[in-house]
Structure 1
Amino acid sequence: MEILTLIAIFLGPIVAVQVSQYLERRRQKHAGKEWVFKTLMRTRSTVMNPAHIEALNMIDVEFYSRNKKDRSVVAAWKLYLDNLGDYRTPDDVKYAKRNDLFLDLLYSMAQALNYDFDKEHIKNTSYIPQGYVDVEKDQHLIRKGMLGILKGDMVVPIHVTNGGGGDQP
């Protein structure tokens, strides 16, 4: 009995530290998954947002596991990533499929993290002000126009008019 007491006294603190470390690793792993999911949910209407891209790139790391639900997240991510890198398919077909694949990815994450969200909830509960959409479109057009001018693909039309004022003939 004394030997068992000594073993318990000796091993007790070691086991307690090991259990504590194990629980902390589990908490950190879950927190990483939560961060990825919440970031993608928060930025699902602004896919060019750097935080959105960062979260996508962390899926493989954060959801790496033997767990079936985590593996389904990684599988959904691979399908979505394949679509993102597809330069052969016509844009209209690719973009329609892309939205469905992204929705599947978010849904599989919700399932893995035990959120009771269905696909319609994920799809229809995002808000982005129209003004933000307009500014993004305008900035895109301006960038494309400037690039076209710099490449020589576009010209800037110039109209000369008589100002009607001053000493100039």
Structure 2
Amino acid sequence: MPKWCKVRVKNGGDAIRGSDAKLNPDKDRDSSFIRFTQLVDLNARYRNMPSTFERRVQYGQLHSVLVCELPKSNLLRLQESKVFLLAHITPCDTSIRRGGTEIWPDATQEVVSYKDTLTSIIVDISAVEVVVGRVKYGIAEKRWGIIDRSGEGARTTFVDQDGWEDDYDLQ
């Protein structure tokens, strides 16, 4: 399955380079940390309860974008071949408890930090919104603060690999 390591937010937005890309540490910054959103079923662990979905803002590290090409298939109800772009992400555990409820804060609205990461996931690339920054802090307990300066209109689109002078090939 082909994989890419770069996406660019349209309308002159951020360039996001996955962590699987080869970087030159002398000139390249780590732009692999992202903001993404998902609809999460709050009752997923309860088999007999109806699904209740909540939009959740999350932050994590983009590793790569997988290009999944599916051929025409009656079994899959695909009348023509289709390409799916899937983001391989390791989410940061930014969840906190407020009033006995687990919440996932939005770093555009309040201070958000994390210490640990969660299990890697694969999501549709349309869930990826923008690149975010991180700041390391703390002495006894090292944490990372998320810096999210995104606006409401951020969306992901793709740039042809020939469009960047500093493209790196994946091995």
Task: Mark yes or no: TM-score above 0.5.
Answer: no
Instruction: Sort the TM-score into its range (normalised by shorter chain).
Output: under 0.3
Question: TM-score, structure 2 length as denominator?
Answer: 0.20
